[in-house]
């Protein structure tokens, strides 16, 4: 039996569209430009990489310098959760002429020196395919002195010119730390970050979006659209759909623009628990009044983290008003708050079953209101369904450009930089490429009493264009049903279907 | 904001491929052929519709009779759960020249005379779209004398030449009953059934598959493929994926052929609960031995109904051996078995949380075996995610052909027949069309002490080609990972991608 589907095969043949500048890699080089000034406080932690400029990729003029190296070797690693398109970063490294080794199972593969060689033949079946299965992934951070030393040993043993770290905020912080550490130790290995995460929370002046967000949102939106159409046809269920995305509500917001659910909760609005419960109860009552006992409600995974009462409770559980709030919670949630603490004694907000909490309280509220209708609820959680999907054309193109850019950054000896592709709303040929010092994205945070450099997660900006656009329309989606059905991602045919960018990025 | 997605719009333009014979409706007519002999026992219940032949659609020869009617009016109704393509049945009725009224909210719309007129303009935005939202649907059966009389009144009031019932086994049984009843009352309204259900359990010598099965399986397979790729990348979760499909495991079998999970349970194999638990535990242990703590397991919704110990327990709960089995079950399941009974005192097997039951027992079994690894399980239930998806080209074409055929059956005055399109593995131009007396699909069953005519659900045939093919390969999928990634349904491009039929039908 053939283990490769017809679509997998067809996608192997896809040739990513690339920016003009990347069509002639030999003549591409970096010129330095002014970037964002990093926080001064970071200077002491990054003395060697702090002061470097931003690098823009440009065509080498007639008198320009030739490439720094003709042959170069780079390591590459996937870090953290899957995002569609990651394999194309690696394919591009190979296509750019790098000798590539891949570290296995995430950053621990660097520490433990677990690796495979990746050549053209090895990468061939992974082109334009989802997942991170060529190498696997993992969440180890390279932090301790031992881990750093082991990593140094690994890159020296392999005589790597570069190490490309494909990851989110933490992994790119880690890339900056490694870059600085290698320089301190006189090691020539360059460290390059590639912005990956479906959550969409890794953004900056130079990073418009991380790869994987587009494909994940489109896959979730396909499913939400299907569920909405089912709701409208069967007219008997309320579908509560929780969406992955950690703290930020970017995915929920994007899916809302794509599918027009009756209610979309956005954590960043900072609404209190009981306000949210009342909003849901209001929705259900108002829809009941017009004869509707069904609906679709989107709930971002991180919702609870933004609730003021919840934050207060976690900060000071014994204060009278926080105790009063605690007592309004269902017993199961009370137990979770009391019992499920992390090793540092912090409440594990992410483990609280948000949708269960909302459901319980909404039912209670409806009872209080003497609601005469029915509430048949169906719960869904969309996460693993879309992280490792086949990359959309956008993510396939974007990742391929990121990979070529990373290869050039290694070739030209840049380090502690993250790959930046801009002008993403435009066709790939118009994209602009830069290598941006990761320190520009960072600041210092006090964590467990210690100063730590971090890339701050970018949350939904409730004054930003996408949210404002959404908030302009959402009222009209509440009672009348204006569900929108995006359908499955298309790879062939009209570019409007195949090459469009997910909606929250297009607003 | 535009409430219609670009793909929705593009799909509106799709022109279904149709069989040769349907390209000239004026010259199509039915010739009678020999069909399956219905069960003699049904004669007393269906005296007027029992003896009719099967009708095959053929080209009218030079001397053939002209169409029975030039103008005709038909009602149409959706019955039961959503299935992709239903709207195309209605579009075809309109395109065939019928004046169409649609009954709202399922068969109760006939009883209560709730309807809307459907003209070209009304149906236009629903062409090639998923869901049943043009009319809604419902599960009311038209059974009592009052309901039958009310239905008669409705069809007489509207002077309907036909009534097209789009539904599964129960709804088509209902169509046969209504056809017979109308004839008995001297009513000229013809009743035509259209085979619909994602479950794939409505099959016969003449019905190769119901519509909606193909699209639902492809959508579930897309999602399962994504989850499998995630499992293989993250290497830390066992994904237990429960699949809709009522009793039969057709959907699970089809998705298994499309995605090659490590284990697929098929209810019809009739394995006992503890045998299944041991199989899962074996899988987990064997994979652990080769360093794998992840996997994908498909669980059909109806699994539990086939377990011999469960059947025995339900039949005779007090027998000693059944009590012994009962005591091996987790407390929660014991309670479900004891408490959740239907109005007739029967255990509601469908309400038992199969995946929870399996998980609990597998964990217990692993503990007993002193398993050293981890079992991080993620549960999924795929149902509403695919019932109302956009129809695949196959379902769009199939439904359109079914609709044209239903219109011709009304025009030519057939009744008590179900629309049959055969040769479905071939391109639509080669499809064969028949109108088959529904009695040919039926038999008598004793339900609550009364003889009832029913269409028996067709289960997975474990001697059939699809299952044999599956069972030949499944062992090889257990330890080595041969996951197959079907990806999203494609509507444009290579016909191998856009026009293929789901795999269990192609074997």
The mean pLDDT of A470-495, rounded to a whole number, is 97
For B6-45, the pLDDT digits (tens) are 999 999 999 999 999 999 999 999 999 999 999 999 999 9
Note whether B198 and B81 are within 8 A (CB): yes
CA pair distance A93, A78, nearest whole angstrom: 14
Question: Is the CA virtual torsion B59, B61, B62, B68 positive or negative?
Answer: negative
| Res A325: pLDDT | 93
| Res A345: pLDDT | 67
For B481-501, the pLDDT digits (tens) are 999 999 999 999 999 999 999
CA pair distance B463, B332, nearest whole angstrom: 36
The radius of gyration computed from the CA coordinates of chain B, to the nearest angstrom, equals 24
**Residue with the larger pLDDT of the pair B340 and A204:** A204
Which residue of B lies nearest to A224 if distances are taken between CA atoms? B385
Note whether B231 and B193 are within 8 A (CB): no
Do B3 and A387 count as a contact with CB atoms less than 8 A apart?
no
| Res B193: pLDDT | 98
For B150-204, the pLDDT digits (tens) are 999 999 999 999 999 999 999 999 999 999 999 999 999 999 999 999 999 999 9
| Res B343: pLDDT | 66
The mean pLDDT of A20-46, rounded to a whole number, is 94
Strand partners, B438: none
Do A131 and B258 count as a contact with CB atoms less than 8 A apart?
no
- Give B-chain residues touching A220 at CB under 8 angstroms: none
A497 — contact with chain B (CB < 8 Å)? yes
| Res B416: pLDDT | 98
For A426-450, the pLDDT digits (tens) are 999 999 999 999 999 999 998 878 8
- Phi, psi for residue A401 in degrees, rounded to 5: -65, -45
Please report which residue ranges of A185-249 form alpha helices under DSSP H.
213-234
- Give A-chain residues touching B1 at CB under 8 angstroms: 260, 469, 473
Note whether B297 and B264 are within 8 A (CB): yes
Tell me which residue in B229, B260, B494 faces A131 most closely, judged by beta carbons: B229
The mean pLDDT of A119-143, rounded to a whole number, is 97
- Phi, psi for residue A319 in degrees, rounded to 5: -60, 145
Q: Which of A136-145, A255-264, A496-505, B18-27 has the lowest mean pLDDT?
A: A496-505
**B507 pLDDT higher than 90:** no
Question: Is the CA virtual torsion A426, A429, A430, A432 positive or negative?
Answer: positive
Banded pLDDT at A1 (limits 50, 70, 90): low
**B280 pLDDT higher than 70:** yes
* Chain B interface mutation, best of A222, A291, A351, A382, highest count of B Cβ atoms under 10 Å: A222
Banded pLDDT at A326 (limits 50, 70, 90): very high
Q: How far is A382 from chain B (nearest CA, A)?
A: 9
**Residue with the larger pLDDT of the pair A342 and A473:** A473
Q: Which of B382, B117, B62, B140 is nearest to B244 (CA)?
A: B382
Separation of first and last alpha carbons in chain A: 45
The mean pLDDT of A26-37, rounded to a whole number, is 94
**B349 pLDDT higher than 80:** no
For B266-277, the pLDDT digits (tens) are 999 999 999 999
Q: Which of B89, B143, B102, B101 is nearest to B391 (CA)?
A: B89
Q: How far is B444 from chain A (nearest CA, A)?
A: 30
What are the E-state strand segments in A274-416? 295-300, 377-382
Angle subtended at Cα A178 by Cα A65 and Cα A106, rounded to the nearest 5 degrees: 110
Note whether A241 and A193 are within 8 A (CB): no
Helices B354-368/B273-289 angle, 10° precision: 60
- Give B-chain residues touching A378 at CB under 8 angstroms: 384
Compute the mean pLDDT over every residue in chain B, rounded to the nearest whole number: 95
Banded pLDDT at B1 (limits 50, 70, 90): low
- Give B-chain residues touching A384 at CB under 8 angstroms: 226-227, 230-231, 237, 239, 378, 380
CA pair distance B486, A7, nearest whole angstrom: 6
In A, residues 251-310, which contact B (CB 8 Å cutoff)?
A: 258, 260
Do B3 and A133 count as a contact with CB atoms less than 8 A apart?
no
- Residue B55, number of CB atoms within 10 A of its CB: 23
Question: Is the CA virtual torsion A439, A442, A444, A450 positive or negative?
Answer: negative
A199 belongs to the catalytic site: yes
Do A129 and B389 count as a contact with CB atoms less than 8 A apart?
no
**B350 pLDDT higher than 90:** no
Residues A340-358: b if buried by 16+ CB within 10 A, e if exposed? eeeeeeebebeebbbbbbb
Do B497 and A492 count as a contact with CB atoms less than 8 A apart?
yes
For A225-283, the pLDDT digits (tens) are 999 999 999 999 999 999 999 999 999 999 999 999 999 999 999 999 999 999 999 99
Q: How far is B331 from chain A (nearest CA, A)?
A: 19
Q: Which of A417-431, B334-348, B459-473 has the lowest mean pLDDT?
A: B334-348
Decide: helix, strand or coil at residue A440.
helix
Strand partners, B295: B238
Tell me which residue in A3, A136, A486 faces B235 most closely, judged by beta carbons: A136
ipTM score assigned to the predicted complex: 0.97
Active site residues of B: 199
Q: How far is A334 from chain B (nearest CA, A)?
A: 22
**A344 pLDDT higher than 70:** no
| Res A66: pLDDT | 87
The mean pLDDT of B318-341, rounded to a whole number, is 88
Question: Is the CA virtual torsion B238, B243, B246, B248 positive or negative?
Answer: negative
**A352 pLDDT higher than 90:** no
For B425-435, the pLDDT digits (tens) are 999 999 999 99
Note whether A79 and A139 are within 8 A (CB): yes
In A, residues 355-384, which contact B (CB 8 Å cutoff)?
A: 378, 380, 384
**B344 pLDDT higher than 80:** no
The mean pLDDT of A33-58, rounded to a whole number, is 95
């Amino acid at each position: 039996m053939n283990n490769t589907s017809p679509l997998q095969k067809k996608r192997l043949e896809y040739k990513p569209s690339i920016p003009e500048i990347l069509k002639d890699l030999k003549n591409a080089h970096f010129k330095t430009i002014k970037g964002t000034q990093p926080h001064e406080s970071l200077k002491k932690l990054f003395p060697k990489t702090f002061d470097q400029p931003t690098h823009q990729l440009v065509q080498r003029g007639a008198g320009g310098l030739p490439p720094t190296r003709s042959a170069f070797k780079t390591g590459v690693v996937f870090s953290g959760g899957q995002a569609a398109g990651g394999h194309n970063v690696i394919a591009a490294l190979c296509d750019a002429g790098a000798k590539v080794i891949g570290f296995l199972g995430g950053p621990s593969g660097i520490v433990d020196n677990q690796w495979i060689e990746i050549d053209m033949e090895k990468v061939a079946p992974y082109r334009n395919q989802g997942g991170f299965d060529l190498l696997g992934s993992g969440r180890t951070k390279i932090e301790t002195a031992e881990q750093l030393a082991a990593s140094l040993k690994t890159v020296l043993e392999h005589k790597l010119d570069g190490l490309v770290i494909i990851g989110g905020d933490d992994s790119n912080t880690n890339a900056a730390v490694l870059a600085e550490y290698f320089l301190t130790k006189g090691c020539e290995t360059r460290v390059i970050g590639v912005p990956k995460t479906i959550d969409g929370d890794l953004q900056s002046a130079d990073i418009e979006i991380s790869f994987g967000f587009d494909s994940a949102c489109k896959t979730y939106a396909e499913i939400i659209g299907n569920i909405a159409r089912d709701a409208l046809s069967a007219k008997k269920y309320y579908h509560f759909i929780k969406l992955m995305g950690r703290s930020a509500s970017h995915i929920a917001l994007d899916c809302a623009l794509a599918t027009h659910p009756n209610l979309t909760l956005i954590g960043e609005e900072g609404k209190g628990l009981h306000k949210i419960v009342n909003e849901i109860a209001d929705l259900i009552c108002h829809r009941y009044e017009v004869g509707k006992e069904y609906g679709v409600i989107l709930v971002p995974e991180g919702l609870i983290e933004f609730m003021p009462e919840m934050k207060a409770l976690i900060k000071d559980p014994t204060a009278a008003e926080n105790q009063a709030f605690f007592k309004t919670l269902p017993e199961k949630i009370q137990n979770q708050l009391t019992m499920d603490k992390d090793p540092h004694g912090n409440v594990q907000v992410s483990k609280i079953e948000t949708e269960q909490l909302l459901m319980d309280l909404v039912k209670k509220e409806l009872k209080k209101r003497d609601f005469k209708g029915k509430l048949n609820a169906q719960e869904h959680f969309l996460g693993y369904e879309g992280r490792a999907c086949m990359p959309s054309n956008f993510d396939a193109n974007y990742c391929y450009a990121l990979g070529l850019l990373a290869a050039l950054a290694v070739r030209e000896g840049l380090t502690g930089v993250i790959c930046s592709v801009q002008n993403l709303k435009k066709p790939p040929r118009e994209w602009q490429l830069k290598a941006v010092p990761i320190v520009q994205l960072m600041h210092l945070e006090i964590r467990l009493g210690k100063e730590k450099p971090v890339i701050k997660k970018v949350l939904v900006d409730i004054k930003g264009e996408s949210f404002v656009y959404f908030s302009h329309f959402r009222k009209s989606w509440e009672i009348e049903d204006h569900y929108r059905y995006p359908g499955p991602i298309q790879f062939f045919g009209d570019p409007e279907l195949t090459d469009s960018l997910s909606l929250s990025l297009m607003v």
